[in-house]
Structure 1
Amino acid sequence: IQTVRGIVAALSALSARCTVPVTVTVELPERPAPAIEGIAYFTVSELLQNISKHSGARTAEVDLWRTEDRLLIQVRDDGHGGASTDGGTGLAGLTERLGSVDGLFAVDSPPGGPTSVTAELPWRHRTGSAAGTAVARSR
């Protein structure tokens, strides 16, 4: 996992591998605990892979921010929609993974698009972490 360099660098690297241009915005006062950061990374990775493989999107956005005691992730694309947690293993697996740590996972993807996925994780502090605020653009 590339979170060793921080979630900003890790998400920028993920977005660079996506087949569509991705704008990444991270607004965090500090890095979350390693386990939460790892789940956030894995979640965005899976969602960007789905965008590359299935969405037909031209652009995508990833936003990560903290509100009170929650870490929020929103991934949006302008593809053809129709994504669902029913059937398949990708989105259903993310629902289970986030649920295992008291997280939430919601998909809004009407036929014809666009798709918006929101993931919410509990905020857990990391000791000795630096603040990180960045906007990264890929492609």
Structure 2
Amino acid sequence: MRSLVDRFFLCPSSTETLERRVETLTRSREAAVDHSAAELRRLERDLHDGTQARLVAVSMSLGMAEELFEQDPDAARRTVSEARAATSAAIADLRSVVRGIHPPVLADRGLDGAIRALALDMAVPVEVVGTLAGRPPAPVESAVYFAVAECLANSAKHAAHSQSWVELGHDGAVLRVVVGDDGRGGADVDAGTGMRGVMRRLGAFDGTMSVSSPDGGPTIVTLEVPCRLSDSSSPRTTPSSAPA
């Protein structure tokens, strides 16, 4: 009887539970806002230093070619060719920026297909196991996709591994993705900004990330996000995915 009384007084009340929940949501919202601001600054920097600079060079080259057409047609043609090459490079920059916002493969093929496509591009073999019976909400898809991409990139940079793997699953309420590698281990979440960014992305959706990485490996990163899956029979597409 006394244990029941003690439990009644020691357990947090519904008000305290709600207060903690509000505090958690406030922190995750602030982290999401900070992350969005950082991403916006990155996009602005990429556009300014990459695409804009190339387009300015194209404009200058075309201006020079216009002046040369009557005096030196051959030099004008060479200048136009250089401008055309710079235009192609600017288009490639823009495509890279678009992929960084929302990869077309993710919109077209869903999280399952996008992760499998990502695995094919890795230098070290990546085995993808499991399937998803539907598609998570688009913002969750994007967050989890970039989280997996960050984990695989970290393995490629630091793990000295021979193989990685990704396990996909959904239990009806929680999307669970496990990313692992057979490398040297010792991964430290606090050592860089990439994994902290992953935590902020997932935290915006009440998601979590846990890391097990003992010295000698393996490194296993578990990503969990509560969500429901929608019917995947009709893939969503975006204009950016259309062939150029």
TM class by smaller structure = 0.7 to 0.9
Q: Is 2:211 the counterpart of 1:107?
A: yes
Paired residues of 2:172 and 2:228 also in contact (CA < 8 A):
no
Q: 1:70, CA displacement in angstroms?
A: 0.5
Task: Give the residue type in structure 1 aligned to 2:173.
Answer: D
1:1-139 paired onto structure 2 within 5 Å: 1=103, 2-4=105-107, 5-126=109-230, 128-130=231-233
Report the Cα distance in structure 1 between the residues aligned to 2:220 and 2:123, rounded to whole angstroms.
18
Q: 1:96, CA displacement in angstroms?
A: 1.6
Q: 1:48, CA displacement in angstroms?
A: 0.8
Task: Give the residue type in structure 2 aligned to 1:130.
Answer: S
Task: Kindly report the root-mean-square deviation, in angstroms, between the aligned alpha carbons of the 2 structures.
Answer: 1.5
Larger CA Rg, structure 1 vs 2: 2
Report the Cα distance in structure 2 between the residues aligned to 1:74 and 1:125, rounded to whole angstroms.
18
Gaps of 5+ in 2: 1-102, 235-244
Q: 1:100, CA displacement in angstroms?
A: 1.6
Paired residues of 1:63 and 1:74 also in contact (CA < 8 A):
yes
Query: For 2:157, what is the secondary structure of its paired residue?
Result: helix
Number of aligned pairs? 130
Report the Cα distance in structure 1 between the residues aligned to 2:221 and 2:126, rounded to whole angstroms.
15
Aligned to 1:137: none
Report the Cα distance in structure 1 between the residues aligned to 2:153 and 2:165, rounded to whole angstroms.
13
Query: For 2:191, what is the secondary structure of its paired residue?
Result: coil
In the superposition, the TM-score normalised over structure 1's length comes to 0.87
Paired residues of 1:31 and 1:130 also in contact (CA < 8 A):
no
Paired residues of 2:178 and 2:222 also in contact (CA < 8 A):
yes
Q: 1:81, CA displacement in angstroms?
A: 0.4
Task: Give the residue type in structure 2 aligned to 1:23.
Answer: E
Instruction: Answer 1 or 2: which has greater strand percent.
Output: 1
Residue identity (%): 42
Aligned to 2:19: none
Report the Cα distance in structure 1 between the residues aligned to 2:180 and 2:145, rounded to whole angstroms.
16
Report the Cα distance in structure 2 between the residues aligned to 1:63 and 1:125, rounded to whole angstroms.
17
Instruction: Answer 1 or 2: which has greater helix percent.
Output: 2
TM superposition outliers: structure 1 runs of 4+ over 3 Å: none
Gaps of 5+ in 1: 132-139
Task: Give the residue type in structure 2 aligned to 1:29.
Answer: A
Report the Cα distance in structure 2 between the residues aligned to 1:76 and 1:49, rounded to whole angstroms.
12
Deviations 1:73-116 (A, max 9, x none): 00110000011211210111111211121001000001111100
